[in-house]
Amino acid sequence: MLLTVDSPERELWHRWIGQRERMAREALIQMHASWARLVAKDVYLKVRIKDAEWGDYVQNATVGLIEAIDRYEPGRGVDFRTYARHRVRGAVFNGLRHLASQSFGCMDAMREERSASLSSDEADPLLSFVSWTVGLGIGHLLETASLHDDRQQGEDPYANASRDQVSALLHEAVKQLPEREKFVLTLHYFQHVPFVEIASELGLTKGRVSQIHRQAIQTLRVHIRASLT
């Protein structure tokens, strides 16, 4: 929807950007709210995660819409919805990431993987989310593998066999990592040492340790995918 000279929306943008009139901002939010819900619906139909309800998608889409309205510059000649679509979709996926992190527990590795996936504003939010959840799952597998056997009596033996297979693949993949990557993963997941202490042990910055961790997770991701296909 391109703005024309006599467009009522053009006047609202002028009042908001030029005069910071709050009522104009609220009117713009209301004007595009239904469209933002459609963007949320598109994500909702493609991606479902545990504990995420339809209202969560809409709420986060609204957050993205408001951010887009606050940052939009009509003078650049770009249609607002073209500009805002990436930000609205990204806000919905950010909300899903947050819920997924809560369901697995907020470990350092998950936060670092999340930061990596958000490093580029140009990345497609869907692809970014898929990449992040794969890394999150591997982190969870590593964390689980480092704990004592927690099988419950009467659990499906086929489920046990499947878990054992993945666990074996994971341990083998970790063994094949470069020494520094293996060291970081072993300390963090199997000895539960936080990144800041690993950095001190290696004489590196925490950011560098995070980078090594991401490289290791990426290698494991490729190895597990290849082994299970």
Query: 65: domain CATH number?
Result: 1.10.1740.10
Q: Is residue 92 domain-shared with residue 146, that is, in the same domain?
A: no
pTM (two decimals):
0.51
d(CA 196, CA 74): 44
- Range of 57's domain? 8-104
**Residue 151 pLDDT exceeds 90:** no
Residue 31 lies in a domain: yes
State the Cα–Cα distance between residues 109 and 71, nearest whole angstrom: 31
Question: Which of residues 47 and 164 earns the better pLDDT score?
Answer: 47
The three-class DSSP label of residue 160 is helix
Q: Give the C-alpha separation, 147 to 105, whole Å.
A: 15
Q: What is the pLDDT of residues 165-203, one digit of tens each?
A: 666 777 778 888 899 998 888 787 767 778 888 998 889
**CA–CA separation, 58 vs 91, rounded Å?**
10
- pLDDT band at 129, cuts 50/70/90? low
Boundary (domain end) residue, out of 104, 123, 149 = 104
Question: How many residues make up the chain in this entry?
Answer: 229
